Every structure is written in structure tokens, then in C-alpha cells.
Chains A and B, each alone.
Chain A
Amino acid sequence: MATDKRSEALTAAGAILLLSSLIALLIQPPLQILLLLWRSLLAVVALILILQALRLNTRNAAVVYLDALIVIAAEIFLLISPPDLLISPSNLGASFSYRLLAPSAAFIAGVLILKDAINMLYGFGAKAREVLAFTLIRGSAVLAVLILGGIFSVILYNGIGAISVEFLTEPHRNLGQEGGIVTCIEGTMWLVLGAMLVSAPLGIGAGIYLNEYSRSHTLNRMITISISCLNGVPSVVYGLFGLAFLVSTVGISLLAGSVILGLMNLPTIILTTQEALRAVPDSLREGSVALGATKWQTILRIVIPSALPGILTGLIIGVSRAAGETAPIMWTAVTFTPVYVNKAYGIVPDVYQPVNNLCYHLLQLIYFLGAWDVEKRAWGTALVLMGLVLAMNSLAIIVRNHYRKKIRW
């Protein structure tokens, strides 16, 4: 019984060490109190470890002795090293200060202690290894959630202060130090709309052809290969392509940007359309053809309506990707000078003019960060951009989940 109590105490000590050292590494508070905690904890823990090891068989005891040794080493390091210790390897561009080394020592000790404690609690067997592995997996899951949740909350927290009516309804002035981002929102919307006008017909058409019509295996294979290649093409290469292919003929313009963004979205839309069409059971098609419908009638009135949620999901994902990409439009469509989109008859935009864009605006503000006071507006722009893209993505997820529950073949 006593053994179990000691092991539990060890587990708690290990967990405390891990957490406190991680916090110390991340936030870097003054170390005095933490040092006191670590020094006392490590001394006690080393003692318990050695006591525990005496009861174990030789092989397991050796491991625990080794760990105890390392813990003692960490303790000695924490006790004797001066607070202004600075290790700077001559050939590295960085140096490691006490602020970094002390928590690291505590961290390593914490990991080892936790490992031994779990091993002792579960008797060094397969069960102990399972608990260890699952603890690690759960730990990294928690870590990932913290990182990712942190990203959301940091942007929300800092960005919300910059949002105001003025910010959302006025163009920027004075290199983005004053005014708002309305021209950027407008430009982004037109770019996205243009991109969808290019990619939706092409992508959906190609998806339908590949899934419903194509009989030639070679052609299918070739198209599939080129789609998967296109899917991997980096966005900056699309930018280069647009620069070489379009800018020489139509100039830096809304048209060039839309076409490039549309082509970039093409593989995504083809793949999601194909997937959605594949999910429609053949019995529906056969029933329709048996009633005398032609192939196109079947596709238009039976297959596409059944696959519509999937196709829609692909389109929405395309919208959010087009709204969030910077590299393809940097040299093909945007300008930093505030411009409204000129519209003939109030709706038809002038496609030969450059536009503002949220991503590019944010990029310029980041470049200005040190020189001018734009940080607050940069946070605001980031929040609006992220809000726009995430709203689109959540819409896609909702559409998909809604129909996934509803449709049963």
C-alpha cells in the first residue's frame, strides 16, 4: 500500500514539475518562487525514487536508479548554477540563458519522474506502457487544442478592439494608419466572385464528365494525374504563372486575379464534385433511364440534385480559399492605394482595374509595423479576414453535416 501512495505522490510531483516548467518556458515569469519549488520537489523526489528502486528487481531498478541520477543532476544544476549563466556556443546565432536552462532541466526531470511513477503504479508491464503511451497521446492532443485555441482567442481578443463602424465603412488613409478597410472588403468580394465564376462551371463540368461520361480509362487517368498535380501546385507558382500568362495581356487587374484564383480552386472543386457524384447510388440513375430519360436529363434532374450538398460544400470551400490567398494575387491583381471598384450601371465592375484586397492589405500593414502605428488596424484586418474565411468554412461544415444526417439512400 505504502508503495502505491509513494508512486501516486511521485505522479503528482512529476505533473507539477511538467506544468510549472512549461509555464515558465512559455510566459517567462521571474523564477525565484518556481526555483524554490523545483529545488525542494526534486530533492524529495530523488529520495523517493531511490527508496522505491530498492524494492524492484534488478532490471527495472537499474532504469529507476538512472532516472534518479538524472534528477539529482538536475537538482545540482538548479542549486549551483548562477542566475546570470549564459551559454553561447560561438558558432550558433543564439545563446541559452539560465531563464531557458532551468525550466528545461525541471521539464526533463518531470518527464522522467512521471514515466517512472506510472511504471511503478502499473507494474512495468504492457499495461504500464499503454498508460504511458495514452498519457503522451492525450498530452499532445491537449497541447494541440491549446495552441489552436490560443490562435483563435488571441486574434479575437486583440482584433475586437479595432472593429468600429468607421473601420468597416471607410477606405484607409495615410498608409493604413487611419480610416478603415471597406475598399479591401469590396475588392476581396469581387475577386472571390470572379474566381467562382471561373472555377464553378469548369470544375463542376469536369467533375460531371469524369464521373458520368468518361469511358476512356487513359483519359481518365491523365486527368486524374493532372488534377492531383494541380492540387499540390503551391500558390506562389500560380502567382508566377499569372504574372507571365495574364499580366502581359490584361495588366494588373481584377480580371487577372479572378482567373488565377479560379484556376487555383479548380482541383478542389473537381475533386469534391466527383466525390459527391460518386456517393449517388447507381439505382437512382438506372431508375431514371428506365423511365425513358436521356443521360443528360438523368444527370440534370436526378444526379445533380442528389449531389448538390456535396457540390455546394466544395464551392464554399473554394470561396474561403480564394478569400484567404495572398501569393497568387500579389503581382496580378492588387494595389495598396485605396480604390473603390468602378461599376458600370451600378453593378458591372470594371475588370481591368486593380483592386484592394484584405490579405494584401494585411501584408502591407505587417511590413509597416515597425515604422508606423498600424498594429491595431492590422489586428482588426486579421480578425475581419479570419472571420470571413471561417464563416465560409463553418457554413460548408454545416451544409455537409446537415445533409449527411438527412440523406439516406
Chain B
Amino acid sequence: MPFIYILNIDKVFILHNDFWDCMSVLPPALRRLPERIIESVLLITAVTSIVLMILIFSYLIRESLPAIYEVGVLNLVLGEKWHSAGNIFGMRPLIVNTLLVAVLALAINMAVGIPLAIYLAELSGPRSRAVLKPTMELLAGVPSIVYGFLGVIILVPYLGNTFDMLTGRSILAGAILLGIMFIPSITTICEDALRAVPTEFKEGSMALGATRWQTIRHVVLPAASSGITAAVLLNIGNIIGETMAVLLVVGNIARIPTPIYDVFDRGATFTSVIAGEMGEVAHGSLHYHALFAVGLMLLIIVSILSMIGDLARERIRRRFGGY
């Protein structure tokens, strides 16, 4: 039937006419049957994503329930220690470490990424753009394990040497690596947001005698602020969810650094704990279920972030019509 087209265009064209001719002798209810079937198959594929979302949530909840029962929600989320050998599972160190890594990484990321986006959208000539834009897109595709490898080989010894640390593996190393890793993604989205600002805004500002920088600062950036917010939120989600790079450089010791701003201490984020410990854990043990609980926590946080980011994007669309 319809998919035969792909095989032989000429022959199938005839087939298809015959097919539709013979359809026309059928009663009207049956005549539209093939169309109906196709539509419902497509509907099923579309609903897959809802089903998948539900499946992911339900499997993660199901696997983490034993840990939640045994440890208790409050102890699990706010407990002060994560000590797998002693069967003590509290996520507070993980939350603190993840926050530290994310905040620092985001600072590095924004400090380089947003100016780069401004450069690409407002200042760059066609030639530098023709080089920079594909480079950005290519870099967004570099596998995270490769970044992790570079982190282990270059960044960790460099930090260890520069700051006279025991090992260079630290929260700082994770943050620097993640910050660099997601420069392309924040730049791409911010640039889109900056470009979506209508030219009339800029021309109006320039016509009033503002310099280009004043225009960018007081007109373009505020107008693109919701797009930039969406980019930042998306990036927080990416940074929190990134696994392999952080696993290799962060040190994987789940403790709250003392004092809390000691980013030279080793740490463990949500993802590094899951990836580091899941390999050697006994299937069905409390530790196994606790790791799933960490995954559930991560999933919830990231889902909330991506929902907010979505709302921000929706706002741009309403404000400027098109993104």
C-alpha cells in the first residue's frame, strides 16, 4: 500500500491509482480506512513520549521506594551523611556539592558564554562569524567522556600543581570543566535570543543618539532577557545532569566541605555518586535503592527547571512572535 511508493515510483503510481479506484467502490465508511489506520499509528508514536515520561518516573519511584521506606523521606533528603559502607544515606552533602559545582560552573559559563553571544549577534563581521558559528556547533557535540579525559590529563594536574593541593580532583575542577563544556550551548541559545530582538528597537535607540554599547545594554539585553533566562535555566539543568566529565574530576567523596566555600575540597554530585557507585552495588540492596532515590531527586529538579525554561521561551514567543 502507500509505503510501496518508495520502492518503484512508476509502477507504484499505477498501483496506487488502482488502489484508490477500488477504494471508491467501497462504502464511504470503509473508503477512509487506510487514512484512519495511518493516523492512529502516528498518534501512537506521538503518545510514546508521554508514556515514556510516565514510565521513567514510575520506574524510578518504584525502585527508590524501598530506600524511602527504610530511611524515611526527610532523612534521605536532608540526612547529613552519605556513607555507603555504613548504610547511611543522606543527600545533604550531595545537594551542597551539586549546588557549589553548579553555581561556580554557571558563573564561568555565563562570564564567557554571554559576551561571546553578544559578540556573535552584534559585533562580529561575516568572516569571523562564518568561523565561530560552526565551531560552536561542532564543540557542542564533543562527547562528555572526552572532556572528562582532558580534565583528568590536563586540568587536574594543573590545579593540583598551581594550588598545591593533595590531588587536583576537587569541586573547583568539576566546575571549571562543566563551565567550559557548556559554553557552546549557552552561546547558541543566547545568540538566538539576541537576534530575535527586532531591528526597529536598535534603530530607534541609535536614532536617539545612543552609542552601540548603550543600545545593547539598555535595549537589546533587556528585550532578550527572557531568552537569556531560558538559556541559563537550560544550562543549569545540563550542568546538574552532566555525568561523565564530573565523575572523573570531582573526587567522589560525599562530604560537606568545611568551611562551606572551600571549593578546593573533593566532593560528589548527584550524578557522580550514581555513576561511580552503581557499577559495584549489589542488585536490590538498600544502597541500590538509595542510588535510585538520588536519580529520582535529580530527575525532579531537572524537570522543574526545564518546565520553567519552557515557560520563559513561551513568553518570548508571545512578546516578539517567533524565536
The residues of A with any CB-CB pair to B shorter than 8 Å are: 25, 28, 86, 88, 91-97, 99-100, 126-127, 129-130, 133-134, 136-138, 140-141, 143-145, 147-149, 151, 154-155, 201-203, 205-206, 208-210, 213-214, 222-223, 225-241, 243-245, 263, 266-267, 270, 294-297, 300-301, 317, 320-321, 323-327, 330-331, 359, 362-363, 366, 369, 375, 378, 382, 385-386, 389-390, 392-394, 397
**Does B50 count as interface, using CB distance less than 8 angstroms?**
yes
Q: Mark B97-130, 1 if CB is under 8 A from A, else 0.
A: 0000000000000011101101110011000000
Of all chain A residues, the one with the shortest Cβ separation from B114 is A140
**Does B5 count as interface, using CB distance less than 8 angstroms?**
yes
* Contact between chains at A137 and B146 (CB < 8 Å): no
Q: When chains A and B are docked, how far (Å) is the Cα of A94 from the Cα of B257?
A: 13
Q: In the complex, how many angstroms separate the beta carbon of B231 from the nearest chain A beta carbon? A: 13
Q: When chains A and B are docked, how far (Å) is the Cα of A192 from the Cα of B46?
A: 22
Q: In the complex, how many angstroms separate the beta carbon of B176 from the nearest chain A beta carbon? A: 10
Of all chain A residues, the one with the shortest Cβ separation from B233 is A232
Q: When chains A and B are docked, how far (Å) is the Cα of A234 from the Cα of B298?
A: 8
* Contact between chains at B141 and A389 (CB < 8 Å): yes
On chain A, the residues within 8 Å of B145 by CB distance are 324, 326, 359, 362-363, 366, 385
Q: When chains A and B are docked, how far (Å) is the Cα of A389 from the Cα of B113?
A: 23
On chain A, the residues within 8 Å of B119 by CB distance are 137-138, 140-141
The 4 A-B pairs with the shortest beta carbon distances in the complex, nearest first, are A234-B241, A205-B45, A324-B143, A232-B306
Q: In the complex, how many angstroms separate the beta carbon of A108 from the nearest chain B beta carbon? A: 16
Could you give 29 example pairs across A and B, Cβ below 8 Å? Answer: A28-B161, A95-B163, A140-B111, A144-B183, A148-B184, A149-B135, A151-B150, A154-B154, A155-B150, A209-B43, A222-B50, A225-B307, A226-B53, A229-B307, A233-B56, A233-B299, A233-B303, A238-B56, A240-B291, A241-B56, A244-B62, A245-B59, A320-B141, A324-B145, A326-B144, A366-B149, A366-B248, A386-B143, A394-B138
Q: In the complex, how many angstroms separate the beta carbon of B42 from the nearest chain A beta carbon? A: 4
Q: In the complex, how many angstroms separate the beta carbon of A220 from the nearest chain B beta carbon? A: 9
Q: When chains A and B are docked, how far (Å) is the Cα of A267 from the Cα of B136?
A: 22
On chain A, the residues within 8 Å of B299 by CB distance are 233-234, 237
Q: When chains A and B are docked, how far (Å) is the Cα of A327 from the Cα of B265?
A: 25
Q: When chains A and B are docked, how far (Å) is the Cα of A295 from the Cα of B39?
A: 10
Taking a contact as CB atoms closer than 8 A, the residue among A92, A266, A326 that contacts B52 in the complex is A266
* Contact between chains at B243 and A235 (CB < 8 Å): yes
The residues of B with any CB-CB pair to A shorter than 8 Å are: 2, 5, 34-35, 38-39, 41-50, 52-53, 55-56, 59-60, 62-63, 111-113, 115-116, 118-120, 123-124, 132, 134-150, 152-154, 161-166, 170, 180, 183-184, 187, 210-214, 216-217, 234, 237, 240-244, 248, 257-259, 262, 264-266, 271, 274-275, 278-279, 291-292, 295, 298-299, 302-303, 305-307, 309-310
* Contact between chains at A366 and B152 (CB < 8 Å): yes
On chain B, the residues within 8 Å of A86 by CB distance are 164
Taking a contact as CB atoms closer than 8 A, the residue among B41, B150, B306, B309 that contacts A205 in the complex is B41
* Contact between chains at B137 and A237 (CB < 8 Å): no
Of all chain B residues, the one with the shortest Cβ separation from A232 is B306
Q: When chains A and B are docked, how far (Å) is the Cα of A231 from the Cα of B60?
A: 17
* Contact between chains at A206 and B146 (CB < 8 Å): no
Of all chain B residues, the one with the shortest Cβ separation from A393 is B141
Q: In the complex, how many angstroms separate the beta carbon of B163 from the nearest chain A beta carbon? A: 4
* Contact between chains at A385 and B163 (CB < 8 Å): no
Q: When chains A and B are docked, how far (Å) is the Cα of A231 from the Cα of B185?
A: 14
* Contact between chains at B298 and A209 (CB < 8 Å): no
For the A-B complex with A244-B59, A300-B2 known, give 8 more contacts whose Cβ atoms are closer than 8 Å.
Answer: A28-B162, A97-B164, A234-B298, A236-B271, A244-B62, A295-B35, A330-B278, A393-B140
Taking a contact as CB atoms closer than 8 A, the residue among A231, A240, A386 that contacts B306 in the complex is A231
Of all chain A residues, the one with the shortest Cβ separation from B245 is A326
Known: A141-B115, A231-B306, A244-B60. A236 touches B295 (CB 8 A): yes
On chain B, the residues within 8 Å of A235 by CB distance are 241, 243
On chain A, the residues within 8 Å of B242 by CB distance are 234
Q: When chains A and B are docked, how far (Å) is the Cα of A285 from the Cα of B187?
A: 36
Q: In the complex, how many angstroms separate the beta carbon of A343 from the nearest chain B beta carbon? A: 26
Of all chain B residues, the one with the shortest Cβ separation from A204 is B45
**Which of B52, B262, B305 has the most C-beta atoms of chain A within 10 angstroms of its own C-beta?**
B52
Q: When chains A and B are docked, how far (Å) is the Cα of A208 from the Cα of B41?
A: 11
Q: When chains A and B are docked, how far (Å) is the Cα of A394 from the Cα of B153?
A: 27
Q: When chains A and B are docked, how far (Å) is the Cα of A402 from the Cα of B2?
A: 30
Known: A236-B241, A267-B49. A100 touches B162 (CB 8 A): yes
Q: In the complex, how many angstroms separate the beta carbon of A163 from the nearest chain B beta carbon? A: 15
Q: When chains A and B are docked, how far (Å) is the Cα of A326 from the Cα of B271?
A: 13
Q: When chains A and B are docked, how far (Å) is the Cα of A363 from the Cα of B274?
A: 15
On chain B, the residues within 8 Å of A323 by CB distance are 143
Taking a contact as CB atoms closer than 8 A, the residue among A209, A225, A326, A393 that contacts B46 in the complex is A209
* Contact between chains at B295 and A232 (CB < 8 Å): no
On chain A, the residues within 8 Å of B144 by CB distance are 324-326
* Contact between chains at A227 and B42 (CB < 8 Å): no
On chain A, the residues within 8 Å of B303 by CB distance are 229, 232-233
**Which of B49, B187, B211 has the most C-beta atoms of chain A within 10 angstroms of its own C-beta?**
B49
Q: When chains A and B are docked, how far (Å) is the Cα of A138 from the Cα of B266?
A: 34
On chain A, the residues within 8 Å of B248 by CB distance are 366
Known: A130-B211, A243-B278. A230 touches B49 (CB 8 A): yes
Q: When chains A and B are docked, how far (Å) is the Cα of A213 from the Cα of B234?
A: 30
Known: A232-B303, A324-B145. A95 touches B60 (CB 8 A): no
On chain A, the residues within 8 Å of B123 by CB distance are 134, 137-138
On chain A, the residues within 8 Å of B142 by CB distance are 151, 324, 386, 389-390
Q: When chains A and B are docked, how far (Å) is the Cα of A397 from the Cα of B138?
A: 9
On chain A, the residues within 8 Å of B164 by CB distance are 86, 88, 94-95, 97
**Which of B38, B139, B141 has the most C-beta atoms of chain A within 10 angstroms of its own C-beta?**
B141
Q: In the complex, how many angstroms separate the beta carbon of A101 from the nearest chain B beta carbon? A: 11
* Contact between chains at A208 and B42 (CB < 8 Å): yes
On chain A, the residues within 8 Å of B214 by CB distance are 126, 130
* Contact between chains at A130 and B213 (CB < 8 Å): yes
